[in-house]
Amino acid sequence: MKSRTERVQSIKEHPYPSVLIVGAGINGIGTFRDLALQGVDVVLVDRGDYCSGASAASSHMVHGGIRYLENGEFSLVKEAVQERNQLIEKLPHLVKPLPTTFPIFKRLSGLLNAPLKFLGMLDKPSERGALVIKLGMVFYDAFTRKQKTVPPHVFRNRKTSLALYPDLNPEILYTATYFDGSMPSPERIAVELIKDAVEANENAIPLNYVSLVSAKDGKVTVKDEVSGEEISLQPQVLVNAAGPWIDLVNGKMGRETLFISATKGSHVILDNPRLKEAIGEEEFFFENKDGRIVLIFPLLDKVMIGTSDLRIDHPDEAVITEEEIDYFFEMIGRVFPAIEVDRSQIVYTFSGVRPLEWTEGGATGQISRNHSVKMLDPGELLDIPVLSLVGGKWTSFRVFSEHAADQVLELLGKDRKVSTWDLPIGGSKYYPENEAQKQRLLKEWVQESGTRLSLVEGLFDWYGTKTPQLLSGYRDSLIPLQTLPLVTRGELEWILATEDVLHLDDLILRRTTLAKLGKISPESLDEVAEICAAVLGWSADKKEAEVKRYQEILLKKHRLQYAEYVPA
């Protein structure tokens, strides 16, 4: 990928891209990749970093949404389950099968929920019993029986359940386990999609930290947030993929819209070894007494708890509240009553805003998670069509992006050249088909690089078949950090050199899981910042400013008070 400076210069010299996409969340990135594969010259911009808004604040699952069956959204669930299977198969190093267990406390509760919702006589959720959950899982399995990507569900009685999960609340009647998918780092998937787009098409230009300013006289003005320079572009089509900010972006272009009903979802990540041992590698997906869905999720060596579903007016104000934390802890007490949790175990929190389609009133859980493309014809300020990407789920980004790209291609008078259905992503290209092939590949890389097997295995788990790029260019610096012995300097140098890292928080919060897993201490922060300074050419003052910026973000957006920074 060309340097960011070269890419900025390119759009200044060639300000007539066929398509401009505003918003580099998963829907914008997916559409960018799809159009790039069709040979379209396309520019992607975001006022912040790639995948730094709603798409970074997901529950880290790829799933069909079993609970949406109750709303009668069968086509949505079927589509999402099929896309889930494709992600597990086509992105094996970043998406893994996830056994998901329901603790069930009632037998017949919830039987009338679906028909009453259909008749408009029930708005608030209620706890579902064993029969309703069993029916839902039967449907869920049936949607993708032919793919056979994951095993079918299993139902257990109380005795078997407590023998298997001894820390569970003894008041349970049953447990039921089905499979979805786990993606520990949504941000890494986003970066790999962007790299795929650029590798496929030299006229596909991604730029983080470039914001939309205005639209006037058929021109779109964007601002490079790094240099402060404003650039005028004249695309043929504009795609608004700003997620929760879609209506705000349309407003900047003189289009008043009401497309989004924003709801906030918060999560906490805990360092609680006993809770991690109790769930193992399984997610516990649970309905509290009020019918709200909550989850206990195995995030590598930590445990993530989520999620809330609360209406919010201003997406930039999304942050977890004390009430949400109390709610999560109360819920854990109902599922695992003997396991103590408290605020001292919190290593990270995050909140995001779902860009759901506008509805007036009603329970947030009943708002559809389906996706749609809203077309705005040319207007007075901007004489080009604007397509707004509304709704959607992380799991279904590929099909939503395909839908949006097809509409763009129609407007451009172009035909689709490539289907993305079967395409592997990033480091899953040429992925070994079995364990024997994997071991042969790893052995070959070890011999070529002179690097120890355990390190190569760890890199492969994260970067897949892109690992040789890192090994060939940075093998001499694959030395463990003094403060983070499981992280090497060469790995960070590779990320800094190839993945558009502009700020310290880009690296710590999104290109790696260091912050999420509570790995950053004052000492390790200084060591990582020093590596950034060396690779990116920061002055001492710039390094100090980046450290301060990171600490402020951690406090404001993630509600974590950072220990005093101690420079080396």
User: Tokens 């310290």 identify what position?
Assistant: 504
pLDDT score for 470? 95
pLDDT score for 117? 47
pLDDT score for 392? 87
- Give, in degrees to the nearest 5, the angle at Cα 15 between 12 and 21: 105
> Helix, strand, or coil here: 461?
helix
Q: Give residue-wise pLDDT tens across range 82-93.
A: 999 999 999 999
Beta-bridge partner residues of 294:
286
pLDDT score for 80? 87
Structural domains of the chain in order of their starting residue, each with its CATH number = 4-54+187-259+369-412 (3.50.50.60), 62-182+261-353 (3.30.9.10), 431-558 (1.10.8)
Q: Give residue-wise pLDDT tens across range 271-286.
A: 999 999 999 999 998 8
pLDDT averaged over every residue in the chain: 91
Q: What is the Cα–Cα distance from 4 to 549, expressed in whole angstroms?
A: 21
Element containing residue 158 per DSSP (H, E): helix 158-164
Mean pLDDT of 16-20: 98
Return the biggest CA–CA distance within the chain: 71
Neighbours of 163 (CB within 10 A): 9
Q: How confident is the model at residue 122 (pLDDT cuts 50, 70, 90)?
A: very low
Q: How would DSSP label each residue in 110-134?
A: TTTHHHHHHTT---S-----HHHHH
CA-nearest of 177, 150, 178, 181 to 58 is 181
State whether the Cα torsion 163-165-169-174 is positive or negative.
Answer: negative
User: Tokens 């094996």 identify what position?
Assistant: 92
pLDDT score for 116? 42
Q: How many CA atoms within 13 Å lie on the side-chain side of 60? A: 28
Phi, psi of 361 (to 5 degrees): 75, -170
Asked whether 247 and 255 are in contact (CB, 8 A), the reply is: no
pLDDT score for 516? 95
pLDDT score for 109? 62
Given a cut of 90, whether residue 228 has pLDDT beyond it is yes
Q: Give residue-wise pLDDT tens across range 379-428.
A: 767 789 999 999 988 999 999 999 999 999 999 999 999 999 999 999 99
Q: What is the Cα–Cα distance from 189 to 204, expressed in whole angstroms?
A: 18
Mean pLDDT of 309-337: 93
Q: What is the Cα–Cα distance from 532 to 492, expressed in whole angstroms?
A: 8
pLDDT score for 564? 52
Given a cut of 60, whether residue 44 has pLDDT beyond it is yes
Give the pTM. Answer: 0.93
Given a cut of 90, whether residue 79 has pLDDT beyond it is no
Asked whether 193 and 425 are in contact (CB, 8 A), the reply is: yes
Asked whether 134 and 156 are in contact (CB, 8 A), the reply is: no
pLDDT score for 259? 94
Phi, psi of 386 (to 5 degrees): -120, 125
Backbone angle region of 450, left / alpha / beta, with phi > 0 → left and psi within -120 to 50 → alpha: left
Q: How confident is the model at residue 137 (pLDDT cuts 50, 70, 90)?
A: confident
CA-nearest of 266, 274, 267, 280 to 340 is 274
Beta-bridge partner residues of 352:
265
Element containing residue 403 per DSSP (H, E): helix 397-412
Helix axes 397-412, 74-90, angle to 10 degrees: 100
Question: 417 vs 290, which has greater pLDDT?
Answer: 417
Instruction: Supply 495's token pair.
Output: 């990320």
Given a cut of 50, whether residue 119 has pLDDT beyond it is no
Q: How confident is the model at residue 136 (pLDDT cuts 50, 70, 90)?
A: confident
pLDDT score for 475? 87
Given a cut of 80, whether residue 128 has pLDDT beyond it is no
Asked whether 346 and 270 are in contact (CB, 8 A), the reply is: yes
Q: What is the Cα–Cα distance from 237 to 255, expressed in whole angstroms?
A: 15
Question: 64 vs 32, which has greater pLDDT?
Answer: 32
Q: How confident is the model at residue 474 (pLDDT cuts 50, 70, 90)?
A: very high
Q: How confident is the model at residue 66 (pLDDT cuts 50, 70, 90)?
A: confident
Beta-bridge partner residues of 232:
221
Q: What is the Cα–Cα distance from 123 to 281, expressed in whole angstroms?
A: 34
Question: 105 vs 26, which has greater pLDDT?
Answer: 26
pLDDT score for 563? 53
Q: Residue 433, Cα to own-chain centre: how many angstroms?
A: 26
Q: Give residue-wise pLDDT tens across range 503-552.
A: 999 999 999 999 999 999 999 999 999 999 999 999 999 999 999 999 99
Instruction: Supply 241's token pair.
Output: 């993929």
Phi, psi of 14 (to 5 degrees): -130, 75
